[in-house]
Structure 1
Amino acid sequence: MSNKTVLSGRRPRIGARVALTSAALLVATASGVSQSAAVPAYHPAAPVEATYYAPGPWAVAERTGVDCCTSTGDSFDIWYPADLGANGVVHPVITWGNGTMAHPREYEYLLSHLASWGFVVIAADRTDTGTGVQMLDAVRYLTEQNNEPGSVFHGRLDTAAVGATGHSQGGLGAINALARGGGAVDTAVTLEMPLSAVCASLPTVDGHSACIDPAAVTSGSVFLVNGSADGIAPATQALPPEVIGLQSMQGYYDALPAGIPKARAAVVGAQHNDIQGQPDCTNYSCTEGVYRYLGYLTAWFMDQLRGDATARTAFLTRTGEILHNPHWSDQASTITR
């Protein structure tokens, strides 16, 4: 794995959750550390997946608890290429939404992996992200930093290439950020997004609901990902949406406008919290860890935000690699050349 530089304003964690620390208590420190050298038990089944499953070419730096704030007062964690802007590169942005009661550090392995492929990944330290409000705040924050002389991000971000992704209700947030962002977000990836029967119970922010309206997505692209063993985010539904509403990835997928490029697929055997693997499972509702998500999630963003033609071949209608990968099921795609 690549090396990491850490800039942290967060006090040490207690248990699996991270409490948001008062700004007055934040102390910035910097140190050089190495990422875990864990050898994954999982082996990609196809070449495009294998390419983007491997760590990317960029060493990764991270900032925790020193960037502030969302409109609801939450700090940001950011993972980014340590050598920002090397050789004139400008880096696309990915805004992340946590699952219910989760914090960014619980997704560190995944978010650091994306940063190793040249993305600047920002996550609000917020436990209810379903409205997409804080995810859009994060995009605005990095846009401001890109324009701020003296910022480490100044002039080094491609703020015209922005993706949104998140886990569970963070997946709802990704769709809402795409639909409500006024063009600020170009593509959304949902990871274990819950069925619509759940969303009404989630908190509102500034009058915005976490429930999504797929028909409100009028631009960009969408990739819907779930685990085949995840009952909170099922791949298919027995009854049509007209009878029971949008209760599956199939239902959400079909409800997206016909002109929106889209794909969907389920990780075989994954449960609701496999995406939180670091990289293995240490928590409830996780069977194998984050491994199987890495390759195609990265490939999607490499295609949609960086125009990577090799990555795009994984999602093409009929011939796409993910459509025939035995580690995935319930696949569909409208992606064409």
Structure 2
Amino acid sequence: MSNRTVLTGRRPRHGVRVTLTAVTLLVAVATATAPAEATPSYRPAAPVEATYYAPGPWAVTERTSVDCCTSTGDGYDIWYPADLGAGGVVHPVITWGNGTGAHPRQYAYLLSHLASWGFVVIAADRTDTGTGIQMLDAVRYLAAQNADPDSVFGGRIDTASVGAMGHSQGGLGAFNALADGSGAIDTAVTVEMPLAAVCSSLPSIGGRGACVDPAAVTSGSVLIINGSADGISPATQPLPPELIGIQSMRAYYDALPAGVPKTRAALVGAQHNDIQGQPDCTNFSCAEGVDGYLGYLTAWFMDRLRDDPAARTAFLAEIGELLHNPHWSDQASTITR
């Protein structure tokens, strides 16, 4: 088992530019490659992004091989503020879903960053999370820990403020957790969620498949993020969804019910596995590293789970900072004050 305190920080990044060749490369396993060329460190382009791109005020503890188990027998990795509950704070929850073939440690930089802003981030160590089942199990696990006075989490978790986020197949899981969670999830963030042509080939659990039905989301809010260079999660599609199904992030966005607050955007130049950067790229299908995602993913959760008005300004329809940030493209939002 492992419990260790880590501090988030920044260091120069190196980029590996690899062209995505086929949808069958959905697998999100990190494959070591030598960095090809040095690139300048990422620089936030606007004030809200810059605020939440920086590490938050909490030192972070990483807890691995301690907590068990999901309904399918998987353990959890957890990132949380080291001084949990200081000053009477109760901490919102983010439940994470890995991409196909990936493990939580491959996203440690991102998940630790979120914890530095006061969130308890829990990730089932499972390589197929598209159904959302294990993500909901993780929420129930932390709720039980919160009710246990002998647990480090006892009385320190805000069980009424819960977000779900995942990468690739895990993005489908976040969507499904929001739709199936009976109100347990307040918001879902999908990062590089695959097009619908892929989801039917992903594993099912107990008869539940990974494919998502946007119309099934009747509460909460959704942020849909993709990389502009990601062929598995394209921003747009060549033909209307009525003819070929939902094969783009814009189509997923448009298919959500009108009453669901939602935002979408594509990080310019990012490929399928940039979210796994630590923060630079050492793995296949990673071009820029994780840095470009940090500011707005954090801001979204600060808005949705901590009611931060400064963070919310980034997502406002028409005028939001994200919608005019040159690092991003294909932006849209229905968020209002």
User: CA–CA distance in 2 between the matches of 1:256 and 1:288?
Assistant: 30
Residue 301 of structure 1 and its aligned partner are, at CA, apart by 0.3
- The 8 Å contact of residues 80 and 120 in structure 2, kept in 1 or not, is answered as yes
User: CA–CA distance in 2 between the matches of 1:63 and 1:127?
Assistant: 19
Give the gaps of 5 or more residues in structure 2. Answer: 14-40
Write out per-residue CA displacement over residues 88-119 of structure 1, whole angstroms, 9 at most, x where no aligned residue: 11000000000000000000000000000000
The TM-score normalised by the length of structure 1 is 0.91
Residue 268 of structure 1 and its aligned partner are, at CA, apart by 0.2
Q: Which runs of 4+ in 1 moved over 6 A?
A: none
Structure with more contact order per residue of length (Cα contacts < 8 Å, sep ≥ 6): 2
Q: How does 1:176-195 map to 2 (within 5 A)?
A: 176-195=176-195
Which residue is equivalent to 1:13?
none
**Aligned residue identity for 1:81:** P
Write out per-residue CA displacement over residues 195-250 of structure 1, whole angstroms, 9 at most, x where no aligned residue: 00000000001110100000000000000000000000000112110000000000
Residue 39 of structure 1 and its aligned partner are, at CA, apart by 4.0
Which residue is equivalent to 1:22?
none
CA RMSD of aligned residues (A): 1.0
Q: How does 1:59-208 map to 2 (within 5 A)?
A: 59-208=59-208
User: CA–CA distance in 2 between the matches of 1:185 and 1:289?
Assistant: 28
User: CA–CA distance in 1 between the matches of 2:7 and 2:306?
Assistant: 27
The answer to whether 1:328 aligns with 2:324 is: no
User: CA–CA distance in 2 between the matches of 1:330 and 1:61?
Assistant: 36
**Aligned residue identity for 1:43:** R
Residue 38 of structure 1 and its aligned partner are, at CA, apart by 1.8
User: CA–CA distance in 2 between the matches of 1:251 and 1:37?
Assistant: 35
SS of corresponding position for 2:189: strand
Q: 1:195/1:31 Cα in 2 relative to 1: closer, same or farther (>3 Å)?
A: closer
SS of corresponding position for 1:136: helix
Residue 65 of structure 1 and its aligned partner are, at CA, apart by 1.3
The alignment of Structure 1 onto Structure 2 pairs a total of residues equal to 310
Residue 62 of structure 1 and its aligned partner are, at CA, apart by 1.1
The TM-score normalised by the length of structure 2 is 0.91
Which residue is equivalent to 1:237?
237
User: CA–CA distance in 2 between the matches of 1:116 and 1:250?
Assistant: 31
Q: 1:148/1:54 Cα in 2 relative to 1: closer, same or farther (>3 Å)?
A: same
Which of 2, 6, 11 is the equivalent residue of 1:38?
11
- The 8 Å contact of residues 130 and 171 in structure 2, kept in 1 or not, is answered as yes
Which residue is equivalent to 2:288?
288
Q: 1:32/1:141 Cα in 2 relative to 1: closer, same or farther (>3 Å)?
A: closer
Write out per-residue CA displacement over residues 224-281 of structure 1, whole angstroms, 9 at most, x where no aligned residue: 0000000000001121100000000000000000000000000000000000000000
User: CA–CA distance in 2 between the matches of 1:264 and 1:319?
Assistant: 14
User: CA–CA distance in 1 between the matches of 2:8 and 2:85?
Assistant: 22
**Aligned residue identity for 1:283:** N
Give the gaps of 5 or more residues in structure 1. Answer: 1-8, 10-28
SS of corresponding position for 1:314: coil
Which residue is equivalent to 1:209?
209
**Aligned residue identity for 1:38:** R
SS of corresponding position for 1:272: coil
**Aligned residue identity for 1:104:** P
User: CA–CA distance in 1 between the matches of 2:94 and 2:6?
Assistant: 23
**Aligned residue identity for 1:146:** N
Residue 31 of structure 1 and its aligned partner are, at CA, apart by 4.9
Which residue is equivalent to 1:260?
260
Residue 34 of structure 1 and its aligned partner are, at CA, apart by 5.0
